[in-house]
Amino acid sequence: MAAITWLRVPCKKLFHRNLAPCMWNIQKADFAKPVGVAGLGSKKAGKLGKLGPVAEKIVLPVETDTEKLVNYVCGSNILKQGQDAQLKPDSEYPDWLWSLRLTKPPPLEEMDPNSIQYWRRLRKLNIQRQSRLMKLRKY
């Protein structure tokens, strides 16, 4: 446990309309270990890199059973009991699921100027352009 000591130190300045110097209570806490004891028999927690201790990588288990990978959504069950969700045939899923765009968003020229997505994208592109131009500016 750390030792806490109280010191009474005279104040250098005088209060307004008070000629007597004030006394300040200063609390001093010794939370550091003594120098001789810190290095005895202690091991380093981790390897030191350029920027400090290096965290060890966590190896996660990977499912290798091909039958389970084809029929189940691996990792969908977050509970201790139960099993992962089973995949259904394509006919049981809604049609819009198969028409989702999985690639990059369309270019600005292909978008409809009357939609809110067009104007949001235009604003985003202009902000990016202005940011690049401000980086080139010399002060």
Other CB atoms within 10 Å distance of the CB of residue 121: 16
Percent of the chain at pLDDT above 90? 42
**What is the domain count for the chain?**
2
Residue 78 domain-assigned?
yes
Which residue is associated with the tokens 């499912």? 63
Q: Which one has a higher pLDDT value, 77 or 2? A: 77
Does the model's pTM come out above 0.75? no
**Are 110 and 133 in a shared domain?**
yes
In a domain, 120, yes or no: yes
CB 21 within 8 A of CB 14: yes
Residue 107 has pLDDT above 80, yes or no: yes
State residue 50's pLDDT score. Answer: 73
118: containing domain:
106-138
Residue 57 lies inside a defined structural domain of this protein: no
| Per-residue DSSP letter, 26 | E
The answer as to whether 44 is a domain residue is no
pLDDT 10s digits, 34-82: 555 444 455 555 566 677 777 888 888 888 999 999 999 988 888 889 8
Tell me the C-alpha to C-alpha distance, in Å, between residue 18 and each of 8, 10, 12, 22, 86. Answer: 19, 14, 13, 9, 83
